[in-house]
Amino acid sequence: MMMSTIDAAWARTMASLLLGAALVVATATLNRSTAQENKGAASVRIVAFGDSLTAGFELPPVAAFPAQLEKALKQRGHDVAVANAGVSGDTTSGGLQRLDWAVPEGTDAVILELGANDALRGVSPQTARANLDAILTRLAERKIAVLLAGMRSPRNWGKDYVDEFEKIYPELANKHGALLYPFFMEGVAMQAEMVLDDGLHPNPGGVAKIVELILPHVETLIGRVDTAAN
């Protein structure tokens, strides 16, 4: 019997959905396998979860924050792997949506760096707070140690906005018992020799400065992981 046009379209749609579901399952399985392999290869697995500042906007992968941080930690004797889960342009809302698959099984610690794009776009501080709160809650439920990297707001939004936005980070770190690094771009923001031509994103030297300043805090994070394991 000939299928109607509607039946044929439905069949094609179902076939596409089944193929898509199979690909999702295969990808998830691969991600879990990779996480387990990495877990076996390094005693502490850290995910750097953020936006373009983490991803390494316009930088080669070896110059991005996660790669430079991993190298610095290994030079100091730490057996670690630092995964790059940065997405350029990401907001706290986007981070919340992708959290569960971007931070795979086997993750011991997360460096959470989000909020810069919320502030640049004038997103309500209450919205940014709620998203970061939810991210921290989920990570705590998974018993993943967190270093929360703070952000600053452009001053053009006015004092009320700036004050509301910038108190998000210390208050949430205190609420969730997370470590706090007050400002991710400390020593780099507004320093022409440390940023790209856009005046916003760190160049390789700027990333090196970020790593230098945040390194003691990351070592404290690793200490928390080691303590929890013992």
Catalytic residues: 52, 198, 201
Is the Cβ–Cβ distance between 147 and 113 less than 8 Å?
no
And the tokens for 32? 């879990």
| Beta bridge partner(s), residue 195 | 202
Q: If we measure between CA atoms, which residue out of 183, 193, 150 comes closest to residue 168? A: 150
Which amino acid is it at 59?
Answer: L
The residue assigned the tokens 């790669």 is 67
